[in-house]
Amino acid sequence: MSITTFEINEPLDMHLHLRDGDMLKLVGPLTSNTFSGALIMPNLVPPVTTKEDLLAYKKRILEACDGDAFEPYMTLFFKNDYTYEFLEDIKDDIIGIKLYPAGITTNSETGVASMDVEVLRPTLESMSKLGIPLCIHGETNGFVMDREKEFMPIYESIASAFPDLKIIMEHITTKDAVELLDKYDNLHATVTLHHLLITLDDVAGGMLAPHLFCKPIAKRPEDRSALLDAALKAHPKLMFGSDSAPHPKHKKECCGCAAGVFTSPIALQVLTDLFDKYQCLDNLNAFVSLNAQKIYGKNPVKKTIKLIKKDFVVPAIYEFENENVVPMFAGETIPWSLED
């Protein structure tokens, strides 16, 4: 008999871009009304690098998510000159520190210039001692389809040099990254919804699909299958991280399209559909909450989201004041809805 209702407890999105200003006011509630918590990326302009900015940003997020039982797990933008004292002082306000190689993705210009372990050693040593997890956007600046694969030796060098440092390979897109997960105890990963669904063909195989363009770019069918296998069995070192990355419509539908797929408002419905199709709904709560709770040692606010197998027509666009954003599956019908 086919399942027609499903419950997700304490859903967590462990990789999320909420932006700021009106965009934050637009997208914040689209996460906070369904998720218990989310790991908030620090790539604002300028990036979040001080305690003052971090706490002020957290306050703006909580205001935007008006009254929802929701916890933003804050991250700091990695700089190689953070002192031990600074990190010790901020450690209880953050869930981790996000490292971007300079210029590799949206608003990462002030990221690190070198991924050499010796160059990064002082900061990583402090983080390791203080128990602060390191989240990484793992791409080189090589050929676009090879950037993540080429980053694997860098993950290996950091994982082996700092065995006590918790490392999260963010938004993995390749079979290589899935395989690396099992090689080092201290390596974990997030995977997005869109990378479980699409390949490069969906982005550029026919008419160009700017709303599916993101970093890292979607890869090959064998990569998608490896990611999907790991997600469907709720591999214990893998967590859901939507990487929902809103950009206004005019920045997506133009020459020089910004990278990022906006999935927050449809993520839980489409994940339910996907896990249902493969008869793996029993593993969905682990993938979307329990694994992250264990990896990060968090005890999220109680929230049960009820889904029903009923068509939902995804809005063509979400708007607030002067901001707007086009979601994945805009204008399409998806088979699962949130219960009203």
Q: Is 211 annotated as a binding residue?
A: no
| Closer residue to ligand NCD, CB minimum distance, 17 or 188 | 17
Residues that bind ligand NCD (CB under 6 A): 17, 43, 105-106, 137, 214-215, 243, 245, 259-260
Which of Zn ion, ligand NCD, none interacts with 308 (beta carbon under 5 to 8 A by kind)?
Answer: none
Q: Is 15 annotated as a binding residue?
A: yes
| Closer residue to ligand NCD, CB minimum distance, 136 or 281 | 136
* Residue the block writes with tokens 């997890």: 133
Q: Is 137 annotated as a binding residue?
A: yes
Which of Zn ion, ligand NCD, none interacts with 97 (beta carbon under 5 to 8 A by kind)?
Answer: none
| Closer residue to Zn ion, CB minimum distance, 68 or 243 | 243
Q: Is 17 annotated as a binding residue?
A: yes
| Closer residue to ligand NCD, CB minimum distance, 29 or 246 | 246
Say which residues have a Cβ less than 8 Å from residue 11's Cβ, sequence separation at least 6: 34, 35, 36, 240, 268, 288, 289, 303, 305
> Which residue's Cβ has the minimum distance to Zn ion?
137
Q: Is 194 annotated as a binding residue?
A: no
Which of Zn ion, ligand NCD, none interacts with 283 (beta carbon under 5 to 8 A by kind)?
Answer: none
d(CA 294, CA 236): 9
Among 13, 148, 176, 243, binds Zn ion (CB under 5 A): 243
Which of Zn ion, ligand NCD, none interacts with 259 (beta carbon under 5 to 8 A by kind)?
Answer: ligand NCD
Which residues are marked as active site?
243
Annotated binding site: 15, 17-19, 43, 98, 137, 171, 243, 247, 259
Annotated binding site for substrate: 17-19, 43, 137, 247, 259
Annotated binding site for Zn(2+): 15, 17, 98, 137, 171, 243
